[in-house]
Amino acid sequence: MDNRAIGVFDSGLGGLTLVKELHRIMPQENIVYLGDTARIPYGTRSRETILRYAQEDIAFLQDKDVKMIVAACGTVSSTLTKEITSSLAVPFVDVILPTAQAACALTSHGKIGVIGTAASMGSNAYGKTIRNIRNDVRVFGNACPLLVHLVENGMIQEDNQITRLTVEMYLKPLMEEGIDTLILGCTHYPIIYPVFNSVLDYKVTLVDPGKATAQYVKNTLSKAGLFCTREEKGKTEYNVTDQPQSFGQTASLFLGEAVTEQVNQVRLKPLDSNS
């Protein structure tokens, strides 16, 4: 048993959809959340920049003495290398494998669509992982660079015409391929889950990386004997790298509840000073 917190990081607030699921299935666990809001979005950055940012995020959580580190960011998950993650002293989980496993289990005709940031799609991480699980599955991907900005700016209503038209534009080539399952390959996307369902006429199974990864985290903690021993509800520490004033209102969209805890503005150590 281990009463230390679970560390979760993302480029912004999208990872809170994963935190929401962790709260639901493991309410007794403490969580330390880091949103690198000063440098969002990661999806348009170079691979070298993403790796540097991710390592600085990980170092911050290591300094918090967490018992596990979870990369809630699809861009980071598709970019980080085994050389980096395998050297960590605590278990590391990203969103790629849990989400790919869920999609492979759910697909009915072996046609899986994947949407995400430009960096995520450029890495083909989901495609490679899915084909390692099931080589009979066909994977179709499309980058959706505008969706994060729409969600971050609160344009999440099912009847928001700008968001709906944007989703229709991005999904059209995947719908033409006859996909039966769609991976929402960025933790921002489940916020507009109803828009995707409506555009797809409820005929395509949607895979939420937050839900899939939260269950994977629970299973990993169970196998490693790392559940906490407390019975009362755990606490969540929220950290952001930009001004925290607007965090509460936006975060409530992702968490489905008000943020009552203090939100800390933190400064990350440059990578070369983490050694």
Rounded CA separation 125/121 (Å) = 7
Which of 73, 104, 144, 228 is the catalytic position? 73
User: Any catalytic annotation for residue 228?
Assistant: no
Rg (CA), the chain: 18
pLDDT digits (tens, 9 = 90+) for 135-170: 999 999 999 999 988 987 889 999 999 999 999 999
Alpha-helical segments (H) within 26-95: 47-63, 74-77, 82-85
215 class by beta-carbon count within 10 Å (0-12 exposed, 13-18 middle, 19+ buried): middle
User: Any catalytic annotation for residue 104?
Assistant: no
The pLDDT value given to residue 275: 45
The pLDDT value given to residue 244: 92
Q: Tell whether the model's pLDDT for residue 22 goes beyond 50.
A: yes
Q: Which residue, 160, 170, 169, is CA-closest to 195?
A: 160
Mean pLDDT, to the nearest integer, of 112-119?
94
Rounded CA separation 51/168 (Å) = 32
What torsion do the CA atoms of 118, 122, 123, 128 make, to the nearest 10 degrees? Answer: 110
The pLDDT value given to residue 85: 95
The pLDDT value given to residue 190: 92
Rounded CA separation 221/41 (Å) = 30
Which of 104, 144, 186, 228 is the catalytic position? 186
Alpha-helical segments (H) within 66-115: 74-77, 82-85, 96-106
**What pTM value is reported for the model?**
0.91
Evaluate the omega torsion of the peptide bond into residue 41 and state whether it is cis, within 30 degrees of 0: yes
